[in-house]
Structure 1
């Protein structure tokens, strides 16, 4: 079932694959994913490799290598059952394929294993996955602006994502959160983000751990008048996050986004009527009552 889901997702987003493959991160990851396959099948090279096949054919996989690759497929399918976006599906494939390649290369030749691990370390240090740069209505906070902005107007509800750029889960969630901001952002319901990997004081102040073991990244927190009303994922007594899937359906349901959006529209209409009564004039035509405010900080500022 996980394989079918992954295949359907891949085919649906196939036009986007070509754009991604043009990026250095994906090109390099793909080459490193198929590295063992290329070495094992390359004419002129595979003849000199060791093998445990009974027929002595060193240009084909032996039974242990097939076993490792089958185990890799099972792990990828299990992980992709909880994947939300295509980036997560591809990321899981890349990550576990590299782990399998390390095992296969060390089993084949320790020198090849050391060389492959060195390439993996160099890749991690020099090549970062591309950040989401699509449309969004999100306010990016710093350590000095988050408190002031959340407490500025008690009638405004904020949904704030606490994230870190180094977290692959946060990077995969970015397009989902951006899409929600495009659908639901209005005068009374705002979306914000703060990089707690950069602002450690914010992490401590709002009790969101950046430790990979805590699994609290990303965290979504609902604020009203600067006061926290709820957060996902919830945290148990040991400081570990309770497992929760960050997809748009769960977020809309748990945070009651449809209800909050309807209340925010009423709030916005009430403000316009009040201003009209005070000024004795109608609001200017051509202004959309739900037009969201543009973010004042860009991703590059972070």
Structure 2
């Protein structure tokens, strides 16, 4: 039954996986993941490699390499228990496979290890994971607009994500937050994002640390009447984030989105359309993915980056 479920899940996500294969980041990551397997099994090359096997077959894994690969599998399975999206599962596989390959190549030949490590460094510096560019109803703030917008109308509830482009967790969370904005955005309940990796002053004002050690990225803050009333993850006395899973179910439950949405929809009748249109005109390019009378479907946004 588990096998059938896995196959069905793979087939369901097959179109999405196919799109990934067309992107340089995933293409290069895939080949770097299987690099050691290719080198160890390649005819004409594997015969010249060293091996600890008793039969002397250098074209097959020895016992130490099998141990490393089994340990890699265990680590990936443990990390993927907390993974939410398919991107996170694939990302964990790529990341720990590269780490294992570095160890395997250094053990096989120092020169191969140095070469593979140099390729990994070049890959990290030149190839970034694709940023989510799908449909959403999200306003992107900068250091000057966030305070003004949160204070503009006390009747409007804001859910704001504090993120950084370099954070893989933020990149994985992007489609989830976008999907929530499509389902719950209305006149009285709005969704926003601010890149605190770019606007450091904002991170200090709102107490969200960008340090990887604090594990506060991404952070979701709920504002009502211009004041913060809830944030996830919570932060302990030492400034470290309390473990919390960023999936759609947890966010809906913790932020009471269903109840907020029902209350906020009532503001659709009280907020004047003229006020909305004038405020949009002043916001200009900073206002992204607002509902209009002419277009009911969301379109791809140009991020305020």
Q: Above 0.5 in TM-score?
A: yes
User: Measured at CA, do residues 5 and 36 of structure 1 come closer, stay the same or move farther in structure 2, by a change above 3 Å?
Assistant: farther
Which structure 2 residues correspond to residues 1-302 of structure 1 after superposition, within 5 A?
Answer: 9-271=9-271, 298-299=302-303, 301-302=304-305
Q: Deviations over 1:120-143 (max 9, x none)?
A: 000000000000000000000000
* Root mean square deviation of aligned Cα: 2.4
The answer to whether the 8 Å contact 2:164/2:198 transfers is yes
1:92 is paired with a residue whose SS is helix
Deviation at 1:266, TM superposition (A): 1.6
The answer to whether the 8 Å contact 2:220/2:232 transfers is yes
The answer to whether the 8 Å contact 2:158/2:189 transfers is yes
Segment of structure 1 superposing worse, 25-34 or 7-16: 7-16
2:222 is paired with a residue whose SS is strand
> TM-score with structure 1 length normalisation?
0.90
1:221 is paired with a residue whose SS is strand
1:160 is paired with a residue whose SS is strand
The answer to whether the 8 Å contact 1:10/1:86 transfers is no
Measure the CA separation in 2 of the matches of 1:72 and 1:30: 16
Measure the CA separation in 1 of the matches of 2:9 and 2:92: 14
Measure the CA separation in 2 of the matches of 1:83 and 1:125: 25
**How many equivalent pairs are there?**
286
Deviation at 1:7, TM superposition (A): 6.5
Structure 2 unaligned blocks of 5 or more: 276-291
Show the counterpart of 2:285.
none
Q: Deviations over 1:226-259 (max 9, x none)?
A: 1000000000000000000000000000000000
Deviation at 1:6, TM superposition (A): 7.2
Measure the CA separation in 2 of the matches of 1:228 and 1:65: 52
